[in-house]
Chain A
Amino acid sequence: MHGFGVALEPARLLYCFVGVLVGTLVGILPGLGPAATIALLLPVTYHLDTVSAIIMLAGIYYGSQYGGSTTAILLRIPGESSSLMTTLDGYQMALQGRAGPALGMAAIASFIAGTVSVIGLMLVAPQIGRLALAFGPAEYFSLMLLGLTLVAYLTGGAPLKAVAMVLAGLLVATIGQDPVAGTERYTFGIGSLFDGLDLVPVFMGLFGVAEVLATMEQPPGEARISAPKGLMPTRADFRDAAGPIARGTFLGFWLGVLPGGGATIASVVSYVTEKRFARHRDMLGKGAIEGVAAPEAANNAASTGSFIPLLTLGIPTNVVMAMMLAALTLQGIRPGPLLIQQQPVLFWGVVASMYVGNLMLLVLNLPLVGVFVRILRLPYTYLAPVILLVCMIGAYSVNVQVTDVLVMLVFGVLGWAFRKLGYDATPFVLALILGRPMEESLRLALSLSQGDFSVFVREPISAVLLAAVVLAAGFPLLRGRLRRSRG
């Protein structure tokens, strides 16, 4: 309850509002995702107090899940990858003249799922935090290894490429002083590499600049849409959507907690689940309300759930959480099992702000759909230089160094090439952020055990985690074998 006192202070309410509003906008605008936006705003958060900064950034994340559904329904363009499934039935509903109820249901499903999963977060996070107190370096190493393995296999694309990206990310993380002995590694005598690569320019390059390059590569096009009328779904719609919302929320929440999970996978899994269980399962894909309610509930629940591993273990499970970790680190906070006890104002304040933010989104989204549609008509040509320049300012302002701008540019071009070649940047970024703690815990675990590798399997928690790594890595290989032998 104390958290609400924190979240309801006028200044905090304002940052929460700014966060969900910006989040909704970037959710609507294709080509600017929550990850890039949070990277853009990281420099701004230097000037804020920690609680306000995290409240605002969290608002951007769950706000973008609301906004992404608007373009998915009206234009069949997913503003975010997590609203891809919503395009299937949402756009069909729009073609049938039911765009309004589809938008209304998306907002209502998001609100219910968002609120329920915040309660889940309150109940589950402290438990995991308590469990994690027993973690030593061996457990942490195995946990991070499991996280990276799941990310590599779940984010889509060829697993081999994802593994290469994880290895490359871990390797790039070793640039700079070695965390134990302080030896210089891969600095080539360049002073600004001494402390390693700064994360902000790398993020901005991979997600901001690369996105602009890829979008502007296409010849400019114009979108024509009109604002829908009448947003309230019918009574029958609500009856049909109740089950999908409940299932979507449950699945989404737990998939959000899982490393490599997150909003996109949650929406896909919930849609596939509805194909089995929904009342009108044969209508799915032809404009069924269930096809909007389930994935929208799931992606919101997942975005809340993914805060759990970040806040209790200090391990980000997707790119947006990696940005959050960067923001917390900038503020001098290292999230871990003690966070809830040591920073109760931060934890409960952010949790309470999520209730408030979800309410704001519901109030904000329904009446403002017409305005958002007008924003969509803004040509990307004018938006692109704004994104690029804000990226440049952000990268430069980290250390007031042009080398950081250069780093951003290099990773921008790399990110563009990654997209072309089908290499996902997500495993790279997570490996980059987990590289140092992973190396530290590996080396610490080995020196504590006197060089005995069996410590990773003798400690029960670590052994279970490693068994999960083997299962996660082995399962797709096995499935591929089976499929090939059958075909």
Chain B
Amino acid sequence: MTAEASPAQRGVGGRSQLVAGLVVAAIGAFALIAGWGLDLGALRRPGPGFFPLSLSVLLIAAGIAIAWRAAASVLAGRGEPWPDRAGARRVVTMIAALSAMTLFFESLGFVACAAGVTFVMLRFVGGRGWVTSAVFGVVLAACLYLMFARWLGVDLPTGILARM
């Protein structure tokens, strides 16, 4: 399962694994720097910095070890392969739609945002027709709003619907 593993078994390749290891180490380094001012305390009275700072150091070590083993291609990638071009487009579309929803959640309100996200998911990710996507989006948003906001009493933003 080491260097001889076939590409299909390896999933995401060695270079991604190397970068991932370095990212892990970088997160540790960031936590170490960001928490530098925290009081370490003494052994008999460990301060607020004791736990996070020791963890940061260990995380840097783990990240370097992962990167090292990836570079030596000992670490067989057991993940899944990166998406192809079309797959990547679908993932980016979904993330963009969700980010937009988060950004406008309170100003536009739940129903408008939910209908929009559903429409994008069906039309541009799932490849359904324009009309089907739009109708399903509006119906789903309305149903969820009625169920959660009206029936279960969840406090969802009304946004533009309230102003109309």
Q: B50 → chain A, closest Cβ, in Å?
A: 7
Interface string of A43-62 (1 = CB under 8 A from B): 11001000000000000000
B39:A385 contact, CB within 8 angstroms:
no
Q: Is the interface of B mostly helix, strand, loop or mixed?
A: helix
Contacts of A400 in B (CB 8 A): 155
A480's nearest neighbour on chain B, judged by CB, is B74
Q: Is the interface of A mostly helix, strand, loop or mixed?
A: helix
A153 close to chain B: CB less than 8 A:
no
* Contact-size category for B: 35 or more
Give chain B interface residues in 46-85, CB to chain A under 8 Å.
46-52, 55-56, 58-59, 62-63, 65-66, 69, 75-83
Q: B82 → chain A, closest Cβ, in Å?
A: 6
With A212-B94, A422-B11, A451-B43: A160-B66 Cβ-Cβ less than 8 Å: yes
B42:A388 contact, CB within 8 angstroms:
no
Q: B109 → chain A, closest Cβ, in Å?
A: 12
B155's nearest neighbour on chain A, judged by CB, is A400
B164 close to chain A: CB less than 8 A:
no
A8 close to chain B: CB less than 8 A:
no
B140:A381 contact, CB within 8 angstroms:
no
A439 close to chain B: CB less than 8 A:
yes
Q: B69 → chain A, closest Cβ, in Å?
A: 7
A178:B48 contact, CB within 8 angstroms:
yes
B59 CB contact (under 8 Å) in A171, A180, A379: A171
Give chain A interface residues in 142-168, CB to chain B under 8 Å.
157-158, 160-161, 163-164, 167-168
With A167-B55, A443-B51, A447-B45: A385-B80 Cβ-Cβ less than 8 Å: no
B136:A163 contact, CB within 8 angstroms:
no
Q: Report Cα–Cα, A339/B154, bound state, in Å.
A: 30
A265 close to chain B: CB less than 8 A:
no
A422:B121 contact, CB within 8 angstroms:
no
Q: Report Cα–Cα, A219/B127, bound state, in Å.
A: 9
A181:B47 contact, CB within 8 angstroms:
yes
B117 CB contact (under 8 Å) in A161, A385, A420: A385
Tally of A-B Cβ pairs under 8 angstroms: 189
A390 close to chain B: CB less than 8 A:
yes
Q: Report Cα–Cα, A393/B101, bound state, in Å.
A: 12
B134 close to chain A: CB less than 8 A:
no
Give chain A interface residues in 404-418, CB to chain B under 8 Å.
405-406, 409, 412-413, 416
Q: B13 → chain A, closest Cβ, in Å?
A: 10
With A216-B126, A446-B44: A183-B52 Cβ-Cβ less than 8 Å: no
Contacts of A183 in B (CB 8 A): 38-39, 47-48
A131 close to chain B: CB less than 8 A:
no
Q: Report Cα–Cα, A160/B67, bound state, in Å.
A: 11
Contacts of B152 in A (CB 8 A): 44, 47
Q: Report Cα–Cα, A161/B48, bound state, in Å.
A: 27
A393:B156 contact, CB within 8 angstroms:
yes
A277 close to chain B: CB less than 8 A:
no
Q: Report Cα–Cα, A442/B27, bound state, in Å.
A: 23
Give chain A interface residues in 434-451, CB to chain B under 8 Å.
439, 442-443, 446-447, 450-451
B140:A170 contact, CB within 8 angstroms:
no
A393:B154 contact, CB within 8 angstroms:
yes
A381 CB contact (under 8 Å) in B50, B65, B86, B126: B126
A231 close to chain B: CB less than 8 A:
no
A381:B34 contact, CB within 8 angstroms:
no
With A167-B62, A186-B31: A421-B155 Cβ-Cβ less than 8 Å: no
B79 CB contact (under 8 Å) in A217, A392, A421, A439: A421
Give chain B interface residues in 77-123, CB to chain A under 8 Å.
77-83, 86-88, 90-91, 94-95, 98-99, 101-102, 105-106, 110, 114, 117-118, 121-122
A420:B65 contact, CB within 8 angstroms:
no
B35 close to chain A: CB less than 8 A:
yes
A446 CB contact (under 8 Å) in B17, B43, B49, B59: B43
Q: B104 → chain A, closest Cβ, in Å?
A: 10
A171:B55 contact, CB within 8 angstroms:
yes
With A388-B98, A402-B102, A451-B44: A382-B91 Cβ-Cβ less than 8 Å: no
B16's nearest neighbour on chain A, judged by CB, is A421
A396:B156 contact, CB within 8 angstroms:
yes
B118 CB contact (under 8 Å) in A44, A164, A389: A389
Q: B26 → chain A, closest Cβ, in Å?
A: 12
State the 9 A-B residue pairs at the shortest beta-carbon distance, nearest first: A451-B44, A422-B79, A451-B43, A381-B126, A178-B48, A183-B48, A422-B78, A385-B118, A164-B62
17 A-B pairs whose Cβ atoms sit less than 8 Å apart in the complex: A158-B78, A160-B69, A160-B75, A171-B27, A174-B51, A183-B47, A213-B95, A218-B87, A219-B127, A385-B122, A389-B141, A393-B144, A396-B105, A420-B79, A420-B82, A421-B79, A422-B11
